[in-house]
Structure 1
């Protein structure tokens, strides 16, 4: 089941986020002082964004956070976070969550979605390519940057 996250679930979201991120940092998740609990609470409560989750047997196993990025027009949305619990990879959770995102973007009148993905996260890059994401021609990677920038075209009425 895909649904909107509620504020009381912020700690579960942080734990899932940490488990998923740990899989693509070869030296472990950087400890940069980020207060992920505060960040996720803000994302969950933002009136201009949405956090969706995939739930199986009462447990959150996937999450997606998106909103209009700073400086973008109303037809663009940014997928800021997209994670599936590693124990649920290749079980359809990510595809169902992505489909729900696209349906919401379409309902909101979005025409373009953007995201950035860590260069070491080859698994995610493959997933996004299978979903129809492609390198963002307006945002090529800068030398030394550890992110790739991708774009998705939201087609009306699919």
Structure 2
């Protein structure tokens, strides 16, 4: 997939991630994850070194995979957000899957998530994808509200099981929209 050109807002730059971003990405993901899972998962599990190592391996693989796009949002040279997406085996042929979108909790509601989302949508349009899919943690109301504001709707073709922890969302991309 084509990596989008760097995009910027008043003080946010979104660019393709490089292997040198890995430490910042993993640390940011840990902070965001600890915040939205707090009270739902034991603190010991959130700080588990084995889990951190698995996430580091996952992010390293995503940054290196030619079929995956990882974007970093920066403010004043500091990574404050990260997103990753790819066309995935098993997904409908016309859909791209947003796997991760995290913003450092200290930067929530400051435009970082929207800048990342806009950069993803621009890349999806450039690649000709008419829709995108994602899974969001059911209890993460902040994320669900964010996605709803950006046009994501429950995926009627993927109803959650009664004991499911995640909700499937889909975004229809209007032709020519950016």
TM-score, structure 2 length as denominator? 0.85
Q: Structure 1 residues 121, 41: closer, same or farther in 2, change over 3 A?
A: same
> Which residue of structure 2 aligns with residue 11 of structure 1?
23
Residue 30 of structure 1: how far off its partner (Å): 7.5
1:110 corresponds to 2:129 = yes
Question: Secondary structure of 1:110's match?
Answer: coil
- Write the deviation string for residues 4-38 of structure 1: whole angstroms up to 9, x where unpaired: 00011111100000100111211333749441111
Residue 75 of structure 1: how far off its partner (Å): 2.2
Structure 1's consecutive aligned runs of 4 or more residues displaced over 2 angstroms after TM superposition are 27-34, 72-75
Which has the larger displacement, 34-43 or 129-138?
Answer: 34-43
The equivalent position to 2:104 in structure 1, one of 62, 85, 104, is: 85
Which has the larger displacement, 4-13 or 69-78?
Answer: 69-78
Which has the larger displacement, 68-77 or 139-148?
Answer: 68-77
CA RMSD, aligned part only? 1.4
> Which residue of structure 1 aligns with residue 35 of structure 2?
23
> Which residue of structure 1 aligns with residue 9 of structure 2?
none
> Which residue of structure 2 aligns with residue 131 of structure 1?
150
TM-score, structure 1 length as denominator? 0.95
Superposition pairs of residues 62-101 of structure 1, within 5 angstroms: 62-101=81-120
- Write the deviation string for residues 37-70 of structure 1: whole angstroms up to 9, x where unpaired: 1110100111111001110011000110000122
**In structure 2, how many angstroms separate the alpha carbons of the residues matched to 1:127 and 1:57?**
24
Structure 1: gaps (5+ residues): none
Question: Secondary structure of 2:115's match?
Answer: helix
**In structure 2, how many angstroms separate the alpha carbons of the residues matched to 1:44 and 1:140?**
31
**In structure 2, how many angstroms separate the alpha carbons of the residues matched to 1:9 and 1:86?**
18
How many residues are matched?
158
Q: Structure 1 residues 93, 142: closer, same or farther in 2, change over 3 A?
A: same
